[in-house]
Amino acid sequence: MLRRRGSTLIIVSLVLALGAAWVARNWMQARLNGGKADTGMQAVVAATEIPFGLKVEARHLRVITLPKGTAIGDHFSNINDVVGLVALEKLLPGEILLQQQFAKNSQGSTLAALLSPTMRAMTVPVNDVVGVAGFLLPGNRVDVVEARMVEQRAVTETVVRNLLVLAVDQTDSRDKTAPVVVRAVTVEVTPPQAEVLVKAMTEGKIQLTLRSPMAADVPEPAPAPAPAAPPAPRVVRHVRLPVARSLNDSVTIIRGTDVQKTHSSG
């Protein structure tokens, strides 16, 4: 009797153990399948540092998998969607790439891809003085001051403000920090600003002035009011009025203690 009861307990224990193992196996598979579904979101990241203005190649990119539902903006999920685009800013290794960080590059130089649709690139000849002693680098912003002679007197005027420097000579890299004396500076302008620059270079000489990176948040100073014109002089006209003469004028003559008064008729 005891032997039969012991056998029954052993069989029940084995059945319970097999059932528990089966339940645990199904639970683990459900967790693994669910985890795979949650990590199925792919994003393209920079495999190496991508400098500003670089035309991206496949060797610069790699793909990582992120948890599903991660909010990272307008990212790329396929490397082929990024290859051939031009970087609008410096990108660090491992950084998730967003669509607004790149521009399309069709035909021509990469500099054209860096321009906004309404902007133009214009090259200005400079020397070591006009170019701020070589301290102008791509990414800086400058003002343009014109100097010309008017009636044998020098007149200066800031003709264009807050222009973005796209390149110095034939370099558009923004990673340089050492000053370089160059012969030409390429700036980003609107079509009306380009006309003002050409006119200023034709009429006289121009000078570039380097702006502070924080000057974008500072309002431009209001132009000094023109001096008020002096008041017109008042014209005073003198009018001689006729003087009425008395018919009987008297003259008093004093000689010592003798006083005499005479009368004369008019």
- Domain positions in the chain are 41-111, 116-215
Dihedral angle sign, alpha carbons of residues 100, 105, 106, 109 = positive
Per-residue pLDDT at 208: 87
Does residue 196 surpass a pLDDT of 90? yes
Task: Tell me which of 250 and 70 has the higher pLDDT.
Answer: 70
Residue 119 in contact with residue 190, Cβ under 8 Å? Answer: yes
Specify the 3-state DSSP secondary structure of 236.
coil
Q: What is the pLDDT of residues 123-135, one digit of tens each?
A: 888 876 655 656 7
Residue 121: its H or E element: strand 120-125
The CATH class, in words, for 41-111 is alpha beta
Per-residue pLDDT at 190: 93
Per-residue pLDDT at 87: 83
Tokens 């132009």 belong to 223
Per-residue pLDDT at 37: 46
Range in 59-63, 70-74, 154-158, 161-165 with the lowest mean pLDDT: 70-74
Instruction: Tell me what the pLDDT averaged over the chain comes to.
Output: 75
**Cα angle, residue 32 at apex, residues 97 and 79 outer, rounded to 5°:** 20
Contacts of 255-260 spanning 24+ positions with Cβ under 8 A: none
Task: Tell me which of 112 and 256 has the higher pLDDT.
Answer: 112
Residue 143: its H or E element: strand 141-150
Rounded CA separation 7/17 (Å):
15
